[in-house]
Structure 1
Amino acid sequence: MVFVEDIFKRRNELGGSIEVVCGSMFSGKTEELIRRLNRAKIARLKVEIFSPKADTRYDENALVSHNATSIPSTPVENASSILLLASDVHVIGIDEAQFFDEELPDVCNILANKGIRVIVAGLDMDFKGRPFGPMPAIMAMAESVTKLHAVCVRCGNPALYSYRLLPDENQVMLGEKESYEPRCRSCYTNLEV
């Protein structure tokens, strides 16, 4: 007979891991993160979830996907706070990783090296199609990367870009459907479409 404690011990012996869920806005990143975290909870693993304190679009104390799926989370000021708050845990979820500081890749590495499964979700590119924040570094060190695609609102093809509808050049601008729309490469580069 296998006991839950034996499973946890075996997992720690095998070492932790870093998983990344990335893609454009409206591609289902947060929904996939929530799905993975709920499965870990079903497996009786201790789960902690973190999000950047600056992102309060839906709920200050929960991750909420665009289709209203939610799970409680802890908002933090910076990546190093995660190390202070994550104790005696098997799985850590981090949402909106692109908004964290450049310490996040090191924090993820430290946690994974302690035997923790770290699941990170975030935009891989900003509205100009450039790598966004700490995401490229985390993707480079991750055991697995899942890139999700939204549906292009112009033509229906898979969308990998977050096209900004408002004339704001700041890299970070919180917004939803009033501010952004998913577009495929062709519709993103042919802006007159």
Structure 2
Amino acid sequence: MLLTREARVAGRPRADARDPLLRAMLADAGIPAPGPDGAPLLVRCCVTCGSRAHGKPEAPGALEAGWHLSVSYAAGVVVVALTDEGPVGVDVEDVAAVAHADVRPVLLSDDERAARPAWTDRDVARAWTRKEALLKATGHGLAVAPSSVTLGDPDAPGELRRWPADAGPAPSPRWAALDPVVDGLELVGAVVVLSGAAPAAPAG
């Protein structure tokens, strides 16, 4: 089962929008969540360095029950994905913000540039969300350069064509599109689930 939900942040601290959404999703999955004054709702662990100060977030109660989660924020929106199918990553981006940042140099591999000479802003945003969702699911985050990963055409279903050898075994991802609707904004997103694959082990 894969659950995804979104909420407007609307000027609130991110956790104030995220935590009620996550608690409702955990309840739908039959997973008890700690009380507001109890244990942390989310914990982090970096698979690269083992730090608990950053890295992939997980809800301890959910992880013990075999559920994984991922969180993304963009343009005043928070999106949470929760699944019992394997490690998950979610990312959502504002197309205009991605265009303004001009992420092409750090995003696209040589093969992607050669296969598609002309990239629209939406193409770039779609590729960014797919790559970031994948790297969130594996737990690497941006410790793996997005340009070292090659995906298929952004107009087609998600496809991993090349994975960097120094990042470990290539994952077997399943992608799903996730395009939140927010008035006045063009948002694109992606969800990746690594079915049948164990998440990367923390270092140390």
Task: Give the shorter-chain TM-score range.
Answer: under 0.3
What is the TM-score when the length of structure 2 is the normalising length? 0.22
What is the TM-score when the length of structure 1 is the normalising length? 0.23
